[in-house]
Structure 1
Amino acid sequence: MSDERPLKTPSRPPRICSQYKNIIVNVFRYFRKHEHYDHISDIEMKTAKATHVSRRSVSRFRAQGKVGTISSPPRQKRPAPVFDSTDHIARDAIRREILAFYERGVVPTLDLLLERVKEPPISFAGGNSSLRVLIEEDLGFSFKKQYRRRPLLMERDDILAERSKYLREIETNRRSIEPRPEIFIDEIMVKPNVSVEYTSTVKGAESWFKGASYIISLAGGKDGFIPGALMIRPVNAEDYEETMNHDIFKEWFLHQLLPNIPSKSLIVMDNAPYHSKLLKKAPTRITSKSETVKWLQDNSIEHDPTYSKAELLQIVAIYKNSFQRFEIDDFASAAGHRVLRLPKHYCQFNPVELILAQIKDEIEKSNSNRDESIENIIRQAVVDVISKDWQKWFHHALDIENDYRRKFVAYERAFESFVMNLPIV
């Protein structure tokens, strides 16, 4: 019996890159030079058989080579259903699981974290790689290697600083002699289900489809929501970012929010682009040197105008966050209020965000017919959720704040201990 094994026929690569296309074209050229055929199609057939592609593909690659360079097809992004099914509540729970490791004095690793988050109530459906992408891209954590020691899972310094600043400022307001009333605001897009009768096939049958989209803006504090600040706005586009812009938000802010909130309020909002239009942007690389010098002069920042533009931009980078002013903040200040912005990735500190998420679920689960006013259905859902669950979500957000305060103290204490005691690698 022969020991020789039959050679495996190489399978066609699922995605033909430019390098493989060039190989196919070179095989064609070799056959054309060294073997005599009457027709080009015969050479293409032999090339196709040798390279395990179709003759049509060989012809197409040859044509690409004649016109210009042979390029690879665009890389397809693999869908990530795990991320779509992980809502903001689950993501917050994962973040708190990471910090809980520090509370227990345990070095967090991906394997240990995955073991925890796969259990209810989180029930994370992905694996190690999906979890790593989630915590690095969406939660603001990263593995940082300490000097000659194993990497540690750490929250990004900028996010940690924003969170600490927010918790300190809101606590300072609550402990002050005359605390400002806290007014939280947020927006969300909903798409109610609508039923219509159609008679093209079966008389009286009903068809369900997604109705027009609506933007809901809501505001409220510990005493309840602000009725005059409720906005329900129909929109046509599918993309929320295309429909909610600074002009719409500014109109709502000036004409519905500010006239209806208590005097000297503390308005809490996130850093959405339409909340954050700058009055005057800081200089960048494309700004002229003279404009860069003027910005430094206007803000009384010490500098030497004879410095190069690159040196001046380094000075700008140090001070720009301290001098940036948002248009909305100025409107609030002129009316006697103050704006406090939520830290990045911490929308759960905002009870209105949690309430709007419940309202959206209620609206999109409900079915209505076209004879009903969709706006009335949305208003009723808002009233029902707020009357039953406003206080629940408000106190839930306060509990989350206090939990993070405790976890942050444990995080800093444990982190220093870990850095000192990690084994050298």
Structure 2
Amino acid sequence: MEDCLKNTKRMGRITSQTRIVIIKVCNYLREQYDKEGEDDIVKRTAAATGISVRSIQRIKQQHKRGEMHSPPPRSRKSPVMGALDDFDKDCVRREIIAFYERGEIPTIEKLLDKVKKPPLNFPGAYMSLLKLVKELGFRYKKVESGRKLLMERNDIVLAQNKYLRLIDENQKSDSPRPEIYLDETWVNQNECADKCWTLPDGIVGPRVKTGKGARFIIVHAGGEYGFVPGGLLFFRSKNGNKGDYHDSMNHTCFLSWFQTQLLVNIPARSLIVLDNASYHSKILNKAPVSSSRKSELVSWLTNHNIAHDPSYTKTELLDVVKQHKYLQEYEIEYEIDKIARDTGHEVLRLPPYHCEFNPIELIWAQVKNEVKKCNSNPNQTLTNVERIIKRAIDRVTAEDWKSCMHHAREVEDIYRKRDIARDHLTEKLIINITSDSEESESDDE
């Protein structure tokens, strides 16, 4: 009971468990003081629990109506964060990169001065920008002087370096794999944009902004020879225009498209480049957790040839799993990767928060620009809008793809140079990274 009441005070709301406890206290006091009136019972319950009399009366009424479950807590999304799209986030990331290229130390204060100006016109203040920067994978880390610097998380830097190395090795190989880039996007029925990407050939393309009407989901892939023939998946979102395309996609839908429309239509030995969306990343050999059965722990350890004693308790086996979870003998295997490998292809995953490495992002910008030009009538029927979108996709040529892929190569080169500049800058400052807990404390500060 004490824990329930403490949680109630800490959370500022009465949970379902606390309501049940309060009703039990009322019933107990009624049995002990059966001569007293209901008002006295309510007062005694309030004194015993620390909950107000009015709240006790409301809970009793809810109990009579069978409404004991508390409503789910409201999830408030920051107005600033809700107004930002991938275009805005990429602009912020590029500004941080520019600090390293200039040999300057990036900080939130300096970054805020930059992003407040056109073309981004960031609508938030210091804390909103700090939240966005953390979402992009950057953290404050201390140097010996005690000063804090804005730097990418180590895991993101490692993922970025690994991707750049593998893509470079493929391009310089004697027999390079054909590169196929895939992605999903969405287009509103009444397309309206107020921000844009600048394409390699100078064409300005829009990024989707919110608008009324239906939403169409597009899944496609392509490479230097254009879109993959027969690779278009096009359907209307069941969620209307709420959320983004991730809310309308799932693993089953993507897997069906991957097997029936992509793998059968791409060149042999293709290198398939995709992002880390959840429906791309179903794990086949997911490590057991504390809620797993003991038999699952034993089976996982046996399948990965990890020495263990089946007579161990579940707690001991779980400890063995944790010790080997991130060692070389255990590598995560994704279902999509295995399917591609079984058909002679290979999957390469983009580093987190690096959509600018994917040339199809610029292709989507070109498609949406075409849709915006042709969709000037706000009262277009869904059939007409669908025809306009498909026609815009058909107008994308192999030359457009080559131009966008060349632009992605230039972005990769910028990151390679940035890494050299960052290493040079941090070497001079001698970063003193201690522990994750210290980084968290720095973030809070």
Do these two structures clear the TM 0.5 threshold for a shared fold by scoring above it? yes
1:399 to 399, 403, 410: 410
CA shift digits 1:261-286 (9 cap, x unpaired): 11110000111111112223211111
Contact 1:184 1:350 survives alignment (8 Å): yes
Q: Partners of 1:101 and 1:251 in 2: how far apart?
A: 43
CA shift digits 1:202-247 (9 cap, x unpaired): xxxxxxx944432211111123221321221233223533431122
Q: Which amino acid aligns with 1:401?
A: E
Q: Identity over the aligned pairs, expressed in percent?
A: 44
After TM superposition, list the pairs within 5 Å mapping 1:347-366 onto structure 2: 347-360=355-368, 362-363=370-371, 366=375
CA shift digits 1:2-47 (9 cap, x unpaired): xxxxxxxxxxxxxxx679xxxxxxxxxxxxxxxxxxxx9xxxxxxx
Contact 1:216 1:230 survives alignment (8 Å): yes
Sort the Cα spacing of 1:284 and 1:62 in 2 relative to 1 into closer, same or farther, 3 A.
closer
After TM superposition, list the pairs within 5 Å mapping 1:238-257 onto structure 2: 238=240, 240-257=245-262
1:269 to 259, 263, 274: 274
Q: Does 1:111 align with 2:119?
A: no
Bigger mean CA offset, 226-235 vs 388-397? 388-397
CA shift digits 1:397-423 (9 cap, x unpaired): 11111111110121122112223699x
After TM superposition, list the pairs within 5 Å mapping 1:12-411 onto structure 2: 60-61=54-55, 63-64=57-58, 79-137=77-135, 139-146=136-143, 149-193=146-190, 210-238=212-240, 240-303=245-308, 308-319=316-327, 322-360=330-368, 362-363=370-371, 366=375, 367=377, 369-370=380-381, 372-386=383-397, 389-411=400-422
Q: Partners of 1:18 and 1:331 in 2: how far apart?
A: 48
Q: Secondary structure at the match of 1:318?
A: coil
Contact 1:107 1:418 survives alignment (8 Å): no
Bigger mean CA offset, 330-339 vs 357-366? 357-366
Sort the Cα spacing of 1:86 and 1:358 in 2 relative to 1 into closer, same or farther, 3 A.
farther
Q: Secondary structure at the match of 2:430?
A: helix
Q: Partners of 2:75 and 2:286 in 1: how far apart?
A: 34
Q: Partners of 2:382 and 2:422 in 1: how far apart?
A: 56
Q: Partners of 1:379 and 1:389 in 2: how far apart?
A: 16
1:14 alignment partner in structure 2: none
Q: Note the C-alpha offset of 1:302.
A: 4.2
Q: Secondary structure at the match of 2:87?
A: helix
CA shift digits 1:29-71 (9 cap, x unpaired): xxxxxxxxxxx9xxxxxxxxxxxxxxxxx99557348779xxx
Q: Secondary structure at the match of 2:159?
A: helix
Q: Partners of 1:371 and 1:103 in 2: how far apart?
A: 47
Q: Partners of 1:84 and 1:360 in 2: how far apart?
A: 21
Contact 2:223 2:402 survives alignment (8 Å): no
Q: Partners of 1:78 and 1:278 in 2: how far apart?
A: 31
Q: Note the C-alpha offset of 1:172.
A: 0.6
Contact 2:359 2:405 survives alignment (8 Å): yes
- The normalised TM-score by structure 1 is 0.73
Q: Which amino acid aligns with 1:246?
A: H
Gaps of at least 5 residues in structure 1 are: 1-16, 20-39, 41-57, 195-208
Q: Partners of 1:215 and 1:321 in 2: how far apart?
A: 39
Sort the Cα spacing of 1:235 and 1:76 in 2 relative to 1 into closer, same or farther, 3 A.
closer
Q: Note the C-alpha offset of 1:321.
A: 9.1
| Structure number with larger C-alpha Rg | 1
Q: Partners of 1:74 and 1:145 in 2: how far apart?
A: 39
Q: Partners of 1:235 and 1:130 in 2: how far apart?
A: 30
CA shift digits 1:56-102 (9 cap, x unpaired): xx99557348779xxx9987666534334433233223223223323
Q: Partners of 2:249 and 2:360 in 1: how far apart?
A: 17
Contact 2:183 2:274 survives alignment (8 Å): yes
Bigger mean CA offset, 226-235 vs 307-316? 307-316
Q: Partners of 1:249 and 1:369 in 2: how far apart?
A: 29
Q: Partners of 1:376 and 1:65 in 2: how far apart?
A: 56
Q: Partners of 1:303 and 1:159 in 2: how far apart?
A: 33
Contact 2:359 2:407 survives alignment (8 Å): yes
Gaps of at least 5 residues in structure 2 are: 1-11, 15-38, 40-51, 63-69, 192-210, 434-445
1:47 alignment partner in structure 2: none
CA shift digits 1:376-401 (9 cap, x unpaired): 22111112355784333222211111
Q: Partners of 1:76 and 1:163 in 2: how far apart?
A: 36
Q: Secondary structure at the match of 1:408?
A: helix
Q: Which amino acid aligns with 1:397?
A: A
Contact 2:297 2:318 survives alignment (8 Å): no
Q: Note the C-alpha offset of 1:320.
A: 8.2
Bigger mean CA offset, 171-180 vs 241-250? 241-250
- The normalised TM-score by structure 2 is 0.70
Aligned residue pairs: how many?
354
Sort the Cα spacing of 1:77 and 1:361 in 2 relative to 1 into closer, same or farther, 3 A.
farther
Sort the Cα spacing of 1:301 and 1:389 in 2 relative to 1 into closer, same or farther, 3 A.
same
Q: Note the C-alpha offset of 1:175.
A: 0.8
Q: Note the C-alpha offset of 1:179.
A: 0.3
1:44 alignment partner in structure 2: none
Q: Note the C-alpha offset of 1:148.
A: 6.7
Q: Partners of 1:228 and 1:185 in 2: how far apart?
A: 13
